[in-house]
Amino acid sequence: MPIGCSVIVPMFNEEEVIEHTYNRLKRVMDCSEEDYELIFVNDGSVDRTAEIVEAICRRDPKVRLIQFSRNFGHQIAISAGMDYAAGQSIVIIDADLQDPPEVILEMLDKWREGYEVVYGKRMKRKGETVFKKVTAKMFYRLLGKMTQVDIPLDTGDFRLIDRKVCDVLKGLKEKNRFVRGLVGWAGFRQTRVEYVREERFAGVTKYPLRKMLRFAADGITSFSHKPLKIASYVGFVLSFSSFVYLFVVLLQKWLELGMVPGWASIVAINLFFNGIVLMLLGVMGEYIGRIYDETKDRPLYIVREKVGFEYDDNHVSG
Ligand code: UDP
Ligand code: MG
């Protein structure tokens, strides 16, 4: 029998929450009138997350576990889940219960009405730092300005996608993945359900500033060439103004207007221009690095072990 809904849960060191997450997801999905599977993707956790989920797999045939060989990142974990999902609809949800599983039922209703993407829009975010809320808000506005792709404001990866959308995403082999952008890019009939983002059930965020910055850079560079254009505009304006300044200097010399030896101004100009040049080189570097990643053609992730796929004929290749 085909599976109606696959739920993908990426996990990185979530030992404190994962049992609860499973229980709540199970309760919700049992009411959903769909045959379902829960796919937990262990993104290289170094705690007991995998052990706990393995134990669950042994007693619940609807649960599957994909073990990465190391930490590959949240977006890659989601992508791996999609590769293994057998459902007609696919739901992506965080492991920390910030996205309430009950909302999945509303998403499924919309899906049955014929929508192919149902994303969760966060009306409120509880228990997150002001810094995170402010930077997230700025990021989504900036992203909206910089890209042509329609990426809805204030949505995370908590969403339902139809099998058709999942197949499209599986075909996109880019390495620096920004899944919510790719879903927007794919199009299809989209709608939203609104929800309040809860506090983390337990544990701390697995997105330190370093990962947040990388995530933001992926989002912008995967969908926009504007930073490169800004680089060339800035370069143009600067070289034009230095040209003008050159004339000023020459005029001063010809008219023999008291040329004061200006050490400070030379140093200041030097620092300024070098700073700009280095910054623009950095922008180029971001793109070249990503081009390099794509050309290496390494797999997106490495699976160390799969648990719970063996009794299910929907996973022929699994
Ligand atoms: N996560 C992951 N790999 C990582 C970082 C995070 O799979 O390298 C998972 C994490 O376990 C959680 C989800 O991604 O299920 C979102 O992470 P988190 O809740 O820490 O982020 P936040 O909600 O603070 O933005
Ligand atoms: Mg979270």
- Quick: pLDDT tens for 161-216: 999 999 999 998 888 888 888 888 888 999 989 888 888 787 888 888 888 888 88
* CA–CA separation, 107 and 76 (whole Å): 23
Instruction: Classify 306 as helix, strand or coil.
Output: strand
Mean pLDDT (whole number) for 285-305: 86
Q: Which atom belonging to ligand 1 lies closest to the Cα atom of 73?
A: 8
The mean per-residue pLDDT over the stretch 101-109 comes to 93
Task: List, in order, residues 6 or more apart from 251 with CB less than 8 Å away.
Answer: 257
pLDDT at residue 83, rounded to an integer: 94
Please, are residues 1 and 88 in contact by the beta-carbon 8 Å criterion? no
Q: 58-67, 178-187, 225-234: which has the highest mean pLDDT? A: 58-67
Alpha carbon distance 290, 273 (integer Å): 26
- Confidence band, pLDDT 50/70/90 cuts, at residue 38: very high
Residue ID of nearest Cα to ligand 1 atom 16? 94
Q: Which numbered atom of ligand 1 lies nearest the CA of 71? A: 8
How large is the ipTM?
Answer: 0.94
Q: What is the mean pLDDT of residues 281-292?
A: 84
Q: Which of 23, 15, 21, 80 is nearest to 51 (CA)?
A: 15
- pLDDT above 70: percentage of residues in the chain: 96
For the residues 243-272, what does the mean pLDDT come to?
Answer: 77
Q: Is 13 helix (H, G, I), strand (E, B) or coil?
A: coil
Q: Looking at the CA of 11, name the nearest ligand.
A: 1
**pLDDT value of residue 234:** 83
Q: Are the CB atoms for 124 and 154 separated by under 8 Å?
A: no
Cα 22 to the center of its chain, rounded Å = 23
> What is the best residue among 48, 96, 126 to mutate for testing ligand 1's pocket, by most ligand atoms within 8 Å of CB?
96
Contact residues of ligand 1, CB 6 A cut-off: 10-12, 14, 43, 71, 73-74, 77, 94-96, 98, 205-207
- Quick check: 292 pLDDT over 60? yes
Average pLDDT for the chain: 86
**For the residues 140-161, what does the mean pLDDT come to?**
84
Residue 312 has what pLDDT?
62
Residue 318 has pLDDT above 50, yes or no: no
56 C-alpha to ligand 1 centroid (Å)? 21
Cα 200 to averaged position of ligand 2 atoms, centre (Å): 6
Beta strands in 51-198 (DSSP E): 63-68, 89-92, 117-125, 155-162, 190-197
What is the structure's pLDDT at 1? 66
